[in-house]
Structure 1
Amino acid sequence: MFALNGKRALVTGASRGLGQAMALGLAENGAEVICASSREGGCDDTVAKILALGGKARALAADLGDSQAVQALAEQALAAGPVDVLVNNGGCIYREAALDFPLDAFDAVIKVNLNAAFQLSQLLGRAMVTKGSGKIVNIASMLSYSGGIRVPAYTASKHAIAGLTKALANEWGQHGIQVNAIAPGYFRTDNTQALQDDAERSSEIEKRIPAGRWGNPDDLKGAVVFLASKASDYVNGHILAVDGGWLAR
């Protein structure tokens, strides 16, 4: 039920970190993976790792903050055939106190984290509706549940991603499409480097996690394979926390 042989997946933000791990997880279970990043050559390492596994992969590039580039990315992905799985992972973060937060930075984060996810879902979703099947996996966050500090745009975008996931599931479930999200906890990636470098904050985070450790990117592989496969055919509009138990505290 977890096999993805014959399926084609598009993963944005697949150059490193969580996106790379999820792309590898999908490939390890048989999917052909289109790896997208914000710059040409950004996914070369990910593609090479998939090919070394004996899998199929290719790279595309698009600035997710540019709607025309997002449109082109969808068209290029569909040019080789139907996309069965979309993983909206690409994102960005900007840290500043709310009183001083630049409006242009707020807009930029929303464009990348939210608008691009909706646009790709819409563009690829049309083909999924026609086919009568498809999986969309959005990447939410612990900040889909709480407010955070000094990240108002990121928090707003991730709350919105949770709502968008449910809205699309409501409309497209009748067409055989499952739209779900993964909310990663605290993972060791470059996005959380500032928190990792703060010894006091890092220790506070680790103490709250029942698993007793930060997450590693490979910890997301099982979740994305589940939500991309037949195993989740009756799961829709769900936000799956992969957090080592953080929310349980």
Structure 2
Amino acid sequence: MSSQPVALITGASGDLGRAIAVRLAAKGVAIVGSGRNPEGLQRLQAALPEGAALATIQQDVTHDSAPQDAVDLALKRFGRLDYLVNNAGIGQPKPVHETSDADLDLFLNVLLRSPFRYCRAALAAFKGEAAIVNIASTFAVIGGLRGGAYSAAKAGIVGLTTHMAAQYGAQGVRSNVVAPGVLRTGMTEYAWNSERFKRMNFEMTPAARPGTTEDVAGLVALLCSPDGAFINGQVIAVDGGWSATKYLSDAALTRAG
């Protein structure tokens, strides 16, 4: 068994998953990247530092065999599993009155049921000190327009994580939530330049710039490192102060009409 720590990252074919993988790999962590998009997994491979250890698996996280298949790959290729980052997600939710049962099932399956099942599979593979980082959203901790099933599922992730922090912390398994605000990724590109989006996000955020995937990746890397060894059961927003303040930009405060 290798002495190199190993991280399983779901949603690794997307922008945020790739940034997390790059940051962890730079710290000497071997990466097992799970993703639906084969081209995205190829971009992940190209983005990693030279010599980084990587195994990828193309899968739909909602399939029943997906969690165990990914964990088995980690054990087969690297002989261990130390970190799980539940990052796979979907966006563009609707308010409750516009949400069909099919929409509800999809959001719950991708954002809550699947992370639950990956956690369960990983717990059986961990040996000694380990860490789980569940990627939620500021919409898990604060009311947000059009959150609907997305908000419900992400809030469920918070409950799951705090339970695991209590249940498994004494075994050396730390569980935390990272709750990003809006980031410019393929999931948000469709709305990024709309006036409504800018007002709701940029003009209500004290930070002078938008958040980046690297901002989130840095926190995930901390939580998976010895520097995060006494952090357990926390929900940490990475949003420039959006969810914690009543900030409005000067432009918003002085706009007429």
Query: What TM-score results when the alignment is normalised by the length of structure 1?
Result: 0.91
1:143 alignment partner in structure 2: 139
Post-superposition shift, 1:32? 0.8
Aligned residue type for 1:83: L
Once the two structures are aligned, what percentage of the paired residues are identical? Answer: 33
2:124 alignment partner in structure 1: 126
2:68 alignment partner in structure 1: 71
Decide whether the 8 Å contact of 1:183 with 1:242 is kept in 2.
yes
**Counterpart Cα distance in 1 of 2:6 and 2:183:** 27
**Counterpart Cα distance in 2 of 1:230 and 1:73:** 24
Aligned residue type for 1:14: A
Post-superposition shift, 1:41? 4.7
**Counterpart Cα distance in 2 of 1:93 and 1:122:** 24
Post-superposition shift, 1:9? 0.7
Decide whether the 8 Å contact of 2:12 with 2:35 is kept in 1.
yes
Q: How many residues end up aligned between the 2 structures?
A: 242
Post-superposition shift, 1:151? 3.0
Decide whether the 8 Å contact of 2:32 with 2:70 is kept in 1.
no
2:52 alignment partner in structure 1: 55
Tell me which structure has the larger Cα radius of gyration: 2
1:36 alignment partner in structure 2: 34
**Counterpart Cα distance in 2 of 1:108 and 1:237:** 27
Q: Secondary structure at the match of 1:189?
A: coil
Decide whether the 8 Å contact of 1:62 with 1:70 is kept in 2.
no
Post-superposition shift, 1:23? 0.6
Decide whether the 8 Å contact of 2:82 with 2:129 is kept in 1.
yes
1:17 alignment partner in structure 2: 15
Post-superposition shift, 1:147? 3.0
- Single out whichever of 135-144 and 190-199 deviates more from structure 2: 190-199
1:226 correspondence with 2:222: yes
Query: What TM-score results when the alignment is normalised by the length of structure 2?
Result: 0.88
Aligned residue type for 1:223: L
Determine which structure has the larger helix proportion and give its number: 1
Q: CA 1:203–1:119 in structure 2 vs 1: closer, same or farther (change >3 Å)?
A: same
Q: Secondary structure at the match of 1:191?
A: coil
Decide whether the 8 Å contact of 1:220 with 1:242 is kept in 2.
yes
Please list every run of 5 or more consecutive structure 1 residues that lacks an aligned counterpart in the other structure: none
2:4 alignment partner in structure 1: 6
1:46 alignment partner in structure 2: 44
Post-superposition shift, 1:27? 0.5
Which residue, out of 166, 169, 183, partners 1:170? 166
2:100 alignment partner in structure 1: 102
Which residue, out of 211, 216, 230, partners 1:215? 211
Which residue, out of 230, 240, 243, partners 1:244? 240
2:253 alignment partner in structure 1: none
Deviations 1:4-25 (A, max 9, x none): x811111111112111111100
Q: CA RMSD in A?
A: 1.6
